[in-house]
Structure 1
Amino acid sequence: MRLPEPRGGVSEALVQALTGSPGSFARLAPAAHTDEPWLDDDLQLALWVLYELHYRGFDEVDPDWDWDPELIRLRAGLEARFLDGLRAVVTIPDERSVPTALTALTSADAGPSMSRFLQRKATLGQFREFVVHRSVYHLKEADPHSWGIPRLGGRPKAALIEIQADEYGGGRVERMHSELFRTTMERLDLDAGYGAYVDHVSAPTLATSNLMSLFGLHRRWLPALLGHLAAFEMTSSLPNRRYANGLRRLGGDADATRFYDEHVTADAVHEQIAAHDLCGGYVAEHPDQARDVLFGAACGLQLDAFAAEWILDRWENGTTALRRPLAPDDTLAIPA
């Protein structure tokens, strides 16, 4: 994967430094504060690059950059702005029992319905744009949440491993969810390379991916990581049914829709495990961390709503939802 094109002063300084030797990054003055950091292209791209150093890295970047002290200092400052913005907009329900509170959160989610639009109205070109946005996460699906495994024990650990085992296809490469998504991309004539479309997607899309990495990399945010995963699983089954039906409406075959069809079944089971065994079990052991579990869930739901709103607003105005447009609708057809 190549380094992306910068989107502002912070990401430009970062990308430029990463082409050199570790230890050469100059300390940056704090970037301007924004009340909506999920809309800040420079901040979100810089965070995404910093996080990717801990996943697969970049072709031209020395792996010794991963824990460079100045990069960690920069990352901490960007994360603080990101979290401050989220704290200002998310609402955490009364704790009661955490599974009950998670149900209240996910049931009350009132963001724009991307899944209904894709099921009923989207053109093939719009569906391809949606897949491009989702590729930033789905090509590494489950990886951010797997950072929680070594930090857990007992019932919560077993629950997380059960969920992740399904995400990774039970050890069969052709059933890994990231590989199923790669097939969907290929059937839609898209580049299925890891990180291929980062330069195409918006700040809100990067923010949804960055949130998982932020929670996953910090042991302090383990409960938020678990809450995020629970909300993710509890709001997945019905939308994926709609995505699959929308793609079939547009001519998608069984290979193209398998990723979505798989999630209809798998996530209906996962949502119970995540809410009760994972989050409920964790809070039973750590009752003082219940609000952090719910904070993680609320942040994930809120950022998903922001990203959907950003994309749908552009489609409703007749424009592309990508920074770089793909081919026009009328030149496309799903391969037979």
Structure 2
Amino acid sequence: MKLPTPRGPVSAALVSALAGAPRELSGDLTPDDDPLTGEDLQLSLFVMYELAYRGWDGVDDRWEWEPSLIRLRTAAEERFEAGLRALVAPYDDRLPDVIDARGIARTLVAMTGDDSGPSLSGYLRGRATLAQFREFAAHRSVYHLREADPHTFAIPRLGGAAKAALIEIQIDEYGSGRVHRMHQELFKATMTGLGLDTTYGAYVDVVPALTLATNNLMSLFGLHRRRRGALLGHLAAYEMTSTGPNRAYGNGLRRLGGDADATRFYDEHVEADAVHEQVAAYDMCGAFCAAEPERAAEVLFGARCALALDGLWASAVLSSWERGESSLPGLV
């Protein structure tokens, strides 16, 4: 993936530095724009996080652990997390006073059963134009072309039943070891059917900060062992809210002329995630909280962040379309 076009002073300094050999980053590189929608902050985080995934074309891999870059990433993460905590604060009043291992799954079910948010899936099922569906897929490609990778960071940080449950979910995500069934590969077929570029990270340069933020959230949780509970909660929220929307996405794409290859990604999730949601809530999060009960609140924080940030992103996309505008002005 090529380094993206900077969106502010911090990302500009970062992209410029990464083009050279690892060295001490100079100057005051503290991001100061909005913690959730700030283009400079979210792009800077994404650029730094990608060093832990597949990296950037022409960038020395040693940059991943350059101390000054880690200091910058930590400062950006602290600002991002402060924004997340402010975003999910209204949800706290709805949580039970005491959350134990047995109650964690019930609480997750209650949280993910709230369908009062914006129905992006409903719009895509019945109203979206082909151009809008292409935009949606471009937004989601930032995650789907590396689907499951952020959550896999949790595997070596767990033991026992929680680890086994997570591996059960991830095995399906990676197609049981068959390349053509990996969800990352299935999404490439969807993108091909929509006439989109299937190159990894092709649309990073055109998606807005909120799209990057939904991806950065997974990395924020996944790259820190101390946030492993939040990462499991995030995954549980994803799996427990996936079946209905993916059915709608598949039906919406069929309405627009999508063939079986193009819709297989969504159809596969309808079947797989109906099982995954039970495994994620009861076997994974329940077992994790039984082993580490002090982290139950952290699991719910991860789930709340996933739901709230995705809701914010969906609202922004829908608002653009309802105004008759593109949610991705830079997409050709």
Q: Counterparts of 1:227-306 in structure 2 under 5 Å? A: 227-306=233-312
- Return 5+ residue gaps in structure 1 as ranges: 327-336
Structure-to-structure mapping, 1:75-154, within 5 angstroms: 75-90=73-88, 91-92=91-92, 93-94=95-96, 95=99, 97-154=103-160
Residue 20 of structure 2 aligns with which residue? Answer: 20
Give the corresponding residue for 1:332.
none
1:52 aligns with 2:50: yes
Aligned to 1:63: 61
Counterpart Cα distance in 2 of 1:217 and 1:321: 29
Residues 188-210 of structure 1 show CA distances to partners (whole Å, capped at 9, x for unaligned) of 11000000000110111100000
* Structure 2: stretches of 5+ with no match in the other structure: none
- Checking the alignment, whether the CA contact within 8 Å between 1:168 and 1:176 is kept in structure 2 is yes
The whole-number CA distance in structure 1 between the counterparts of 2:194 and 2:33 is 39
Structure-2 separation of matches of 1:235 and 1:248? 21
RMSD (Å) for aligned C-alpha atoms: 1.0
1:170 correspondence with 2:176: yes
When the two structures are aligned, how many residues end up with a matched partner?
A: 324
| Residue 316 (str. 1) matches residue 322 (str. 2) | yes
Which whole-Å CA distance do the structure 2 matches of 1:325 and 1:143 have between them? 26
Of 183, 186, 191, the match for 1:180: 186
* Deviations 1:57-82 (CA, angstroms, capped at 9, x unpaired): 01110111010001100000111011
Q: 1 CA distance for matches of 2:36 and 2:314?
A: 12
Instruction: State the alpha-carbon separation in 2 of the partners of residues 80 and 292 from structure 1.
Output: 16
What amino acid sits opposite 1:236 in the alignment?
A: S
**1: CA distance between counterparts of 2:52 and 2:27?**
21
* TM-score normalised to structure 2 length: 0.96
Deviation at 1:30, TM superposition (A): 2.3
Q: Percent identity?
A: 61
Tell me if the contact between 1:131 and 1:185 (Cα under 8 Å) persists in the aligned partners: yes
Cα contact 1:8–1:42 (8 A) shared by 2: yes
Query: Against the structure 1 CA distance between its residues 323 and 65, is the aligned structure 2 distance closer, same or farther, given a 3 Å change threshold?
Result: farther
2:164 pairs with 1:158: yes
Counterpart-to-counterpart distance in 1, 2:33 and 2:58: 31
Aligned to 1:10: 10
Q: Go from structure 1 to structure 2 and tell me whether the alpha carbon gap of 1:197 and 1:29 turns closer, same or farther (over 3 Å shift).
A: closer
Tell me the CA shift for residue 23 of structure 1. Answer: 1.2
Instruction: Measure how far apart 1:325 and its partner are.
Output: 2.9
The code of the aligned residue for 2:235 comes to L
CA distance in 2, matches of 1:55, 1:110: 34
2:213 to 198, 207, 211: 207
Q: Deviations over 1:12-35 (max 9, x none)?
A: 01000000110142142423253x
